[in-house]
Amino acid sequence: MKDFCYKNTRRQISYFILFFLTLGSIYTIFFPNVLVAEMDFENILLPISWDHWMGTDSLGRELLPRVFYGAGVTLSLGVLSSFTSLIMGSIFAVLVTELRPSLRRVALRGLDLFLSIPQFIFMVLISVNVFILFEKYKTIIPVDRSWISYFSLWAGISFTHWATAARWIQGFIQEEWSKNYVNSAFSIGAGRFRIFHKHIYPNIKKRCFLLWLTLLPSCILYEGVMSFLGFGINPPQISLGILINDGWRSLSEYPHLLLFPSLILFLFVWSINGLINRK
């Protein structure tokens, strides 16, 4: 945690940006009535000005609250899926460490090879599959379409990121088990579970938190990519990817529709990366 407190200009800027973006997106998520701001057909597709900080879209709505709402959806999905993948990865890592060495080598080799394939293909296949399954059993589980797309994207991203988390956490656990104090604990009669619970877990806890922060930018970016390509969040719901996809069609005439959502996406990723970087 000491790493977070250095006097560093980049880290201070990152804190500042992250604080304001998170605050804005949480505000628009919890008070979404700023979104329904009246459609104003007199003022469609205006560029940036003092009255319209990010301009207006094709229905005359303000872009600013829409972008922040989309950022909130993206951020929540990123936080949720990276957290799930961290949990899944740590369960896998703990179980793998308990295997006998030959089996463990096979499992880790499989994990490595799984990680060497472009993860995007699995992400698309899983989220499309989950989406279709929910559509099929719509009568049994009546869920709104936008929630189905949210859930399927969550499943897709978590399913592909747990392997990265598992690989790292397995390394942490392995490193702790091979230290000398573990041998001393064994010699005074502590069991495996007790050593894990009392010594290993407190020692890797902070590193796991940092790992969660390193998974977060990747999850946020994948949300943008999937929604942009049309496999993610479904259009009536807003997310950064959807907004970028909307703006993409009119890039030459109205660049503000595209550049502001993608700028927010970039700022999120840059500030998280800048925060966790040690340098």
273 lies in the site for other proteins, by CB under 8 A? yes
Q: Return d(Cα 19, Cα 206) in angstroms, integer.
A: 22
Cβ-based neighbours of 259, under 8 Å, separated by 6 or more? 247
116 lies in the site for other proteins, by CB under 8 A? yes
Q: Return d(Cα 159, Cα 275) in angstroms, integer.
A: 26
Answer yes or no: are the C-beta atoms of 65 and 34 closer than 8 Å: yes
Give the shortest CB-64-to-other proteins separation in angstroms: 18
Binding mask 200-239 for other proteins (x = CB under 8 A): -----------------x---x--xx--xxxx--------
The interface region with other proteins, picked from 76-84, 117-125, 147-155, 191-199 by CB under 8 A, is: 117-125
Degrees to nearest 5, angle at CA 108 with 104 and 113: 150
Nearest to 76 by CA among 232, 219, 197: 219
DSSP state of 255: T
The pair of structure tokens assigned to 3 is 């790493």
Binding mask 237-256 for other proteins (x = CB under 8 A): ----x--x--xx--xx--x-
262 lies in the site for other proteins, by CB under 8 A? yes
With CB under 8 A as the contact rule, the residue among 5, 36, 113, 140 that binds other proteins is: 113
The pair of structure tokens assigned to 182 is 């573990």
Answer yes or no: are the C-beta atoms of 226 and 127 closer than 8 Å: yes
Give the shortest CB-279-to-other proteins separation in angstroms: 4
Q: Give the chain's length.
A: 279
Amino acid at 257: L
Give the shortest CB-242-to-other proteins separation in angstroms: 12
With CB under 8 A as the contact rule, the residue among 39, 128, 181, 194 that binds other proteins is: 128
36 lies in the site for other proteins, by CB under 8 A? no
152 lies in the site for other proteins, by CB under 8 A? no
Q: Return d(Cα 91, Cα 85) in angstroms, integer.
A: 10
Q: Give residues in contact with other proteins (CB under 8 A).
A: 10, 104-105, 108-110, 112-113, 116-121, 124-126, 128-129, 132-133, 136, 217, 221, 224-225, 228-231, 241, 244, 247-248, 251-252, 255, 258-259, 262-263, 265-266, 269-270, 272-274, 277, 279
